[in-house]
Chains A and B, each alone.
Chain A
């Protein structure tokens, strides 16, 4: 076992770990798009005007949200094929997209909801008074006001998701984390490959965090409620 930092190992591990970068990035994007779409399902289900149904949906969301995504991944990957009747074997990539996507869609659904609920009551009344159709009401009045303020929050979830994606290495998605792990196992030096993964995460997530911060400031000035009243 080597005990010291060695640049030689670092340079050796770098191309090996980088092989996984594309999978990590594409998994992040796929999971994120899936979560964005599936978030609508929760928002829609929460809108159903039935108290009992609402209660059930709320607790299902709470269940998904407060249990570990790692266990949910294991459930989909190891347990789903064993489900009597409905079980199908899922590839590691699909399991990861479904598991992380559904996990984060519960958060994203709440963001949509808060966006829609932040629309002033008068806007709903006005669109009704002006005899807007349901489609027009959503398309022309509600959504243009509800979506922009949620964009920074949704952006944050992209970064959060990027940082959760290495969990998929545990079920065999060959992203940077699995690459680092297998390099470590082969050469018995985890230090350099794991450090590379850490640096990659910093290099990719810090600039995007700064970008989202800027976006947030821009959105806040554009959609400042007080400014609108003035």
Chain B
């Protein structure tokens, strides 16, 4: 029990990094998801193929590879400094999950019943109005549970930033473990509990999203 009281505040120092990385990469991922998801439904062949390439590259390779690549390779290749490892982490996680989520966006828009789009056409709505007033509001509801699930995945992904030297929860956990080996079990259990506590509101929101998505979407 004493060990827990001792370790807890030390791990909590990493909380800020984990949360800021999660928030920033979630915003980037959502943004990329809507941009790429809509671009893949574009009428232009070039835009479709280009975003398709982005999605396949980021879904086809692993997050840890992308993270290392952005952190080690980008500065070498283009001489660009991403500023700090914080940016490398956020960009890697954001682009990676943005690619996954763009498929969710695309799938939800496509799964809105055809009759909805036909009815909107019959009402003489423009393509933009159709999307904004009829298709999109229904598609967004369907996306909610998946967005929740992927946000939990993103939270788990943030643990990787400790590998490029960021001082998140896991980083402090590793430091305590390396200075006191026999405390390893309690340290990592507490790290897991930290992540679980952070995930709880997301789990709750996902379940809420599941309920919302069942209502208010036209069937057939």
- The residue from A68, A80, A201 contacting B156, defined by CB atoms under 8 A apart: A68
Q: Mark B47-90, 1 if CB is under 8 A from A, else 0.
A: 00000000011011111111011001100110100000000000
Q: What per-residue 1/0 map shows which CB atoms of A1-22 lie under 8 Å from chain B?
A: 1111100000000000000000
Q: Is the interface of A mostly helix, strand, loop or mixed?
A: helix
Interface of chain B, main secondary structure: helix
Chain A residues with CB under 8 A of B65: 166, 177, 194, 197-198, 201
Interface residues of A in 146-183 (CB under 8 A from B): 162-167, 169-170, 177, 180-181
- Bound form: Cα–Cα A114–B159 in Å: 30
Whole-angstrom distance between the alpha carbons of A69 and B173 in the complex? 15
Say if the beta carbon of A88 comes within 8 Å of chain B.
no
Query: Can you name the residue of chain B whose Cβ is closest to the Cβ of A87?
Result: B185
Given A71-B170, A82-B185, A206-B56, also A163-B63 (CB < 8 A): yes
Does A163 contact B61, Cβ atoms closer than 8 Å?
Answer: yes
In the bound complex, do residue A66 and residue B77 qualify as a contact, i.e. CB atoms below 8 Å apart?
Answer: no
Who on chain B is nearest to A197 by CB? B65
Chain B residues with Cβ below 8 Å from A5 are 77
B153-164 interface code vs A (CB 8 A; 1 in, 0 out): 001111110010
- Interface 9-residue window, one of A90-98, A128-136, A184-192, A222-230: A184-192
Name the one of A68, A177, A191 contacting B72, with C-beta atoms under 8 angstroms: A191
**What class of interface size applies to chain A in its complex with B?**
35 or more
Could you tell me the distance between the alpha carbons of A162 and B65 in the complex, rounded to whole angstroms? 12
Judged by a CB distance under 8 angstroms, whether A51 is at the interface is no
Listed by A's residue number, 8 A-B pairs whose Cβ atoms lie within 8 Å are A66-B199, A67-B156, A68-B160, A75-B189, A162-B62, A163-B63, A177-B62, A190-B68
Interface contacts beyond A66-B195, A166-B64, A181-B68: sample of 18 additional A-B pairs, CB < 8 Å, sorted by A: A3-B76, A3-B79, A65-B152, A66-B156, A70-B159, A70-B160, A74-B173, A78-B184, A79-B177, A82-B181, A83-B185, A163-B62, A163-B63, A164-B62, A191-B72, A194-B68, A194-B72, A202-B61
Residue numbers of A with Cβ under 8 A of B are 1-5, 62-63, 65-72, 74-75, 78-80, 82-83, 162-167, 169-170, 177, 180-181, 184, 189-191, 194-195, 197-198, 201-202, 205-206, 209
